[in-house]
Amino acid sequence: MMAFTAMMEGGEYGDSLNFFGVYRIGSAMSRISVTGGTGKFKNACGFAEIRSLIPAGQHVTDGAETLLRITVHLTY
């Protein structure tokens, strides 16, 4: 289970997106929900696809240190 807020910096205002869902470490891709946000993302909803980016030469990921690529799909 994961819940986090991604904060965007820059511009006049600080904007953020809130996420909640289950990230499966062994899975090629997991989807989690966008549960709202602030600023220009107020009342945003949608989902995010999370994929682990495994460095060359690394065959196992234990989740302790993992680089993630998060692709966000939003509706307003």
Q: Is 31 exposed, middle or buried (0-12, 13-18, 19+ CB in 10 A)?
A: middle
Average pLDDT, integer, range 31-55: 91
Could you tell me which residues are beta bridge partners of residue 73?
A: 47
What is the largest distance, in Å, between two alpha-carbon atoms of the chain? Answer: 43
Q: Taking 70 as the threshold, does the pLDDT of residue 11 lie above it?
A: no
The span from the CA of 76 to the CA of 70, in Å, is 19
Instruction: Report the share of the chain in percent with pLDDT over 90.
Output: 49
**What are residue 75's phi and psi, to 5 degrees?**
-130, 150
pLDDT over 90 (residue 16): yes
